């Protein structure tokens, strides 16, 4: 776990008591899922195109083959917790994504050995798609999530416990790293002298108010 993750887990609390109708967790998950499926489609498309150029013949996969690949892909990504869209550091997300991609394609290669007669594309094409996927899908996430994290419906509203220097640095880190998808909207501190705006986040009351 990174130092940023430790700091976040110790100071940030989910904002349960303040209604924020803009946040849409289901929409966030569907958007990231769309990025992944788009990357998977591009990877197989590039693989098929490359194979067509090299071998001079076009062999499209069947709908059943595509369905099998998508189900395996989504299942492994879900098991790797890659559709928890908030609070995951970019390096950790990259590690999980590449591991899940490798797991997906290893399983697809294994399936082609079992179903040689029914698979319309070669294991070489799958291996080529594997290489493309390791580039395209992580890139889509690393580029897309920081952009999406600036949207109120994507980033989860959180409360900051404390209004000192640590809280200031944390708020600045969250605003500087929108890919974490954590949006500080309010802070709490027991010191009335700190009831002010902290990096554009209002300090509204004592720590006991955070749990009320």
CA distance readout (Å), 146 to 99, 107, 186: 21, 31, 21
Q: pLDDT of 28-82, one tens digit each?
A: 999 999 999 999 999 999 988 888 887 777 777 778 778 888 999 999 999 999 9
pTM reported for the whole predicted model: 0.80
Q: pLDDT of 69-112, one tens digit each?
A: 899 999 999 999 999 999 898 999 999 999 999 999 999 888 87
Is the CB of residue 155 less than 8 Å from the CB of residue 183? yes
Structure tokens at 172: 């600045």
Measuring CA to CA, which residue among 40, 37, 60, 39 is closest to residue 48?
60
Is the CB of residue 112 less than 8 Å from the CB of residue 119? yes
């Amino acid at each position: 776990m990174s130092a940023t993750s430790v700091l976040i887990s110790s100071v940030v609390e989910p904002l349960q008591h303040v209604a924020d109708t803009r946040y849409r967790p289901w929409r966030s998950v569907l958007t990231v899922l769309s990025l992944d499926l788009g990357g998977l489609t591009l990877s197989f498309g590039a693989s098929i195109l490359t194979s067509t150029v090299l071998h001079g013949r076009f062999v499209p996969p069947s709908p059943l083959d595509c369905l099998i690949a998508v189900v395996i892909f989504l299942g492994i990504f879900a098991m790797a917790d890659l559709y928890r869209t908030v609070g995951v550091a970019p390096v950790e997300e990259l590690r999980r994504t590449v591991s899940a991609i490798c797991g997906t394609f290893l399983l697809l290669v294994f399936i082609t050995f079992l179903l040689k007669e029914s698979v319309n594309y070669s294991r070489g094409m799958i291996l080529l798609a594997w290489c493309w996927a390791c580039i395209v899908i992580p890139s889509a996430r690393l580029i897309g999530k920081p952009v999406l994290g600036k949207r109120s419906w994507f980033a989860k509203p959180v409360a900051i416990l404390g209004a000192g220097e640590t809280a200031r640095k944390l708020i600045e880190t969250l605003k500087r790293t929108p890919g974490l998808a954590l949006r500080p909207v309010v802070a709490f501190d027991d010191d009335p002298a700190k009831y002010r705006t902290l990096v554009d986040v209002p300090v509204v009351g004592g720590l006991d108010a955070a749990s009320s």
